[in-house]
C-alpha cells in the first residue's frame, strides 16, 4: 500500500470496504489508519492473538473509542464489555443470568407478531426504506420487551441507539455533538428513573432480574446497572438493525438466493451464519495496549488504541477457502463477529433469533428488489450497514 493512511470513514470505503481490507491483509496487516491514527489489525490470527491476551490488549480501548473529547460524561464506560479481569468476571456472571434460553423463547412470539404487522403497510406503499420501515423495529421491540420499557417512547430509544453508534464516527459537526450530549443526559435521567421504579416495583424484565441478582452476596451497584442499560439498549438495537439491513441488501442484489430461502426455511440459519462472516455489522472491536508490544512484526506503543477489524478477519485467505464466495455450505473456523473468549457477546443467541424471525416473516409475505435510489451507508468505525435502504416490495 502507499504510505498514505486509509481513512476508514471515507464514504467509498464504508460502502465497499473488502477490497481495502484485502489489500491491508496483504501489505500492511497491522498499521495506523485515519481517523486519529488508530492501529488497525486485519488478519485473523492477529485478531485472535489480541482477543486471547487481555492483559496486553485491554478492553479499556472500547471506552476510549466511545469517549471523544467533546463528550463530558458517558455512563456506558463502566459496562462489562469495557472491563478487564478481575472486575469483568463477576459482572458477566450476574448479567449472563438474564440472557437464558427461556427469555429468548419468550420473546420470539412477540417479535414474530411485530415483524408480520410491519409487512402489510410496506406492501401498500411499495416504495420503502427497509431500515426505517422494517429493520429497526424488530430489535427495538426486543429491547423494550427485555428491559420492560414503555413502547410509547420507541422513537426516543431509536434516537439514543443512533447516538451511540455515532460516537465512534469521530467526524461530527458541533451541532451533532451538542445534540448527542443533550440526548445522553436525557437518557441518563430516564434510566435513573427506570431503576428507581424497578427497585420499588420489580417485574419480570431483565432490569428487575439484575437488581435482584446476587453471586456470593454481591449485587450490581447503581453505576453498574446504569452502564448495563446504556450498553444493552443501543447495542441491542443498532447491531441487529444494521445486520438485518445488510442481509436484505444482499438478498435484493441476489434474487436467486432470495428465492432459495423463500422455498426452504431450513436454509435461513446457514444463511445467517454465512452473512455474519461475509458481511458482518461489527466492523471493529477496540482495545488499548497496556505496554509497548509487537504484533505481526509491528511495534505498537503503550496506550495505543487498537481496532480489531472483524470484517477483515472473516475474509482472511489463510483461514477461509475462497473467502469472497458466499457459501451456504461453508465449513471453517469459529465466526469472530460476536467476539471470543471472556468477551463473547452474551446477546448472540438473541440476535440470531431476531434475524431469523425477521427474515422468515418478511420473505414468507414479500419479495424485495432494489429501489430507484442507492443505499446510504453509516459512517461509523464500530458498525457498518445501510442508514437508508430504498427498496420496492411486492407480495408473493
What pLDDT score was predicted for residue 156?
Answer: 93
Give the DSSP H/E element, type plus range, for residue 352. Answer: helix 348-363
Predicted confidence (pLDDT) at residue 333 exceeds the cutoff of 80: no
Separation between Cα atoms, residue 268 and residue 358, nearest integer Å: 11
Q: What is the pLDDT of residues 97-141, one digit of tens each?
A: 667 778 788 899 999 999 999 999 999 999 999 999 999 999 999
What pLDDT score was predicted for residue 123?
Answer: 98
Give the 3-state secondary structure of residue 132. Answer: helix
Which of 393, 366, 357, 142 minimizes the C-alpha distance to 265?
Answer: 357
Separation between Cα atoms, residue 33 and residue 40, nearest integer Å: 7
Q: With helix as H, strand as E and coil as C, how does 151-186 read?
A: HHHHHHHHHHHHHHHHHCCCCCCHHHHHHHHHHHHH
Q: What are the beta bridge partners of residue 33? A: 38
DSSP 325: S
What pLDDT score was predicted for residue 194?
Answer: 95
**pTM of the full structure:** 0.90
Average pLDDT, rounded, for the chain:
88
Predicted confidence (pLDDT) at residue 142 exceeds the cutoff of 90: yes
Predicted confidence (pLDDT) at residue 320 exceeds the cutoff of 70: yes
Q: What angle (nearest 5°) sits at the alpha carbon of residue 110, between those of residues 145 and 132?
A: 80
Average pLDDT value for residue range 241-252: 97
Q: With helix as H, strand as E and coil as C, how does 84-110 read?
A: CCCCHHHHHHHHHCCCCHHHHHHHHHH
Predicted confidence (pLDDT) at residue 391 exceeds the cutoff of 80: yes
All domains in the chain, ordered by first residue: 11-395 (1.10.630.10)
What pLDDT score was predicted for residue 64?
Answer: 67
**Residue with more model confidence, 335 or 369:** 369
Separation between Cα atoms, residue 163 and residue 180, nearest integer Å: 6
Separation between Cα atoms, residue 130 and residue 245, nearest integer Å: 7
What pLDDT score was predicted for residue 85?
Answer: 62
38-41 and 305-309 strand pairing: parallel
Separation between Cα atoms, residue 285 and residue 58, nearest integer Å: 11
Q: At what angle do helices 222-253 and 154-167 cross, to 10 degrees?
A: 90
Predicted confidence (pLDDT) at residue 2 exceeds the cutoff of 60: no
Q: What is the pLDDT of residues 175-225, one digit of tens each?
A: 988 998 999 899 999 999 999 999 999 998 889 988 888 767 778 888 888
Predicted confidence (pLDDT) at residue 374 exceeds the cutoff of 90: yes
Average pLDDT value for residue range 316-329: 92
Per-residue confidence band for 61, with pLDDT thresholds at 50, 70 and 90: low
C-alpha cell at 329: 455450505
Q: What is the pLDDT of residues 22-59, one digit of tens each?
A: 999 999 999 999 988 899 999 999 999 998 898 999 88
Q: 166 CB contacts (<8 Å, ≥6 apart)?
A: 172, 176, 180, 380
Q: What is the pLDDT of residues 65-82, one digit of tens each?
A: 677 778 877 776 655 555
Amino acid at each position: 500500500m502507499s504510505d498514505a493512511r486509509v481513512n476508514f470513514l471515507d464514504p467509498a470505503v464504508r460502502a465497499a470496504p473488502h477490497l481495502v481490507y484485502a489489500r491491508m491483509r496483504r501489505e500492511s496487516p497491522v498499521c495506523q489508519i485515519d481517523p486519529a491514527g488508530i492501529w488497525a489489525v486485519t488478519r485473523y490470527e492477529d485478531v485472535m492473538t489480541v482477543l486471547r491476551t487481555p492483559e496486553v490488549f485491554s478492553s479499556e480501548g472500547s471506552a476510549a473509542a466511545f469517549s471523544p473529547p467533546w463528550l463530558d460524561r458517558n455512563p456506558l464506560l463502566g459496562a462489562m464489555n469495557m472491563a478487564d479481569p478481575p472486575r469483568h468476571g463477576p459482572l458477566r456472571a450476574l448479567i449472563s443470568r438474564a440472557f437464558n434460553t427461556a427469555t429468548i423463547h419468550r420473546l420470539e412470539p412477540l417479535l414474530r407478531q411485530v415483524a408480520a404487522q410491519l409487512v402489510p403497510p410496506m406492501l401498500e406503499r411499495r416504495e420503502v426504506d427497509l431500515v426505517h420501515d422494517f429493520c429497526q423495529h424488530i430489535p427495538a421491540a426486543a429491547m423494550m420487551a427485555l428491559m420492560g420499557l414503555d413502547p410509547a417512547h420507541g422513537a426516543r430509544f431509536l434516537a439514543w441507539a443512533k447516538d451511540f453508534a455515532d460516537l465512534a464516527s469521530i467526524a461530527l459537526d458541533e451541532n451533532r455533538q451538542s445534540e448527542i450530549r443533550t440526548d445522553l443526559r436525557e437518557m441518563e435521567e430516564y434510566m435513573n428513573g427506570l431503576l428507581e421504579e424497578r427497585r420499588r416495583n420489580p417485574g419480570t424484565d431483565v432490569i428487575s432480574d439484575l437488581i435482584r441478582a446476587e453471586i456470593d452476596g454481591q449485587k450490581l451497584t447503581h453505576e453498574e446497572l446504569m452502564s448495563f442499560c446504556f450498553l444493552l439498549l443501543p447495542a441491542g438495537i443498532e447491531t441487529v438493525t444494521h445486520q438485518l439491513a445488510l442481509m436484505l441488501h444482499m438478498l435484493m442484489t441476489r434474487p436467486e438466493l432470495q428465492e432459495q430461502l423463500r422455498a426452504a426455511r431450513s436454509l435461513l440459519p446457514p444463511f445467517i451464519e454465512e452473512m455474519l462472516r461475509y458481511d458482518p455489522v461489527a466492523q471493529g472491536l477496540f482495545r488499548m495496549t497496556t505496554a509497548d508490544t509487537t504484533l505481526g512484526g509491528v511495534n505498537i506503543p503503550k496506550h495505543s488504541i487498537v481496532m480489531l477489524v472483524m470484517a477483515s478477519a472473516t475474509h482472511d485467505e489463510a483461514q477461509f477457502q475462497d473467502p469472497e464466495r458466499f457459501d451456504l455450505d461453508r465449513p471453517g473456523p469459529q465466526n469472530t463477529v460476536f467476539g471470543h473468549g471472556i468477551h463473547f457477546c452474551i446477546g448472540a443467541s438473541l440476535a440470531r433469533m431476531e434475524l431469523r424471525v425477521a427474515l422468515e416473516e418478511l420473505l414468507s409475505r414479500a419479495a424485495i428488489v432494489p429501489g430507484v435510489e442507492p443505499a446510504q451507508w453509516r459512517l461509523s468505525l464500530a458498525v457498518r450497514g445501510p442508514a437508508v435502504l430504498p427498496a420496492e416490495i411486492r407480495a408473493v
